[in-house]
Amino acid sequence: MAALVVTVSPANGMSDKEGRIGIFPGGATTTMYPAGTPFWVGYGFAADSVGGADLDDVGTRFELDVNGEPVSMLTELHTNSGLPVRKTNIAEFPSGLPAGWHDLTGRWYDRGRLILSSRISIQFVER
């Protein structure tokens, strides 16, 4: 089994922690966010002590829906000596979301098996 990890967003210069919205259960989650402001949501997996063979499985992934619709994810697989060591899935919102309430639902899968899910509602407000 792969371990869950939190990651930074490498694309579009959005690795600024301030632009990250966390939805991990029990973690710090905002209830309000400025409308039209860039943000990203991303999580991933690290290899367990046995090795990273499960990381290159398409079934090991993080998925995100916004308002019930699937979001396109950027996926990166990091290797060391040819073995997978970390896989990250990131959704970027360079234009943010419009004002109003939005539901974000995340699902974490290990080899195709759902291992964790989270749903939050955030109010995006005009600045």
Torsion of CA 32, 26, 64, 21, to 10 degrees: 40
Q: What is the pLDDT along the chain (127 residues), one digit of tens a residue?
A: 556 666 555 554 545 556 889 998 888 888 999 999 999 999 988 887 665 567 878 888 999 999 999 999 998 888 888 878 888 899 999 999 999 999 999 999 988 999 999 999 999 999 8
Residue 18: its pLDDT value, please?
A: 66
Question: Can you name the CATH fold of 3-125?
Answer: Immunoglobulin-like (2.60.40)
Parallel, antiparallel, or unpaired: how do β-strands 32-34 and 113-125 relate?
A: parallel
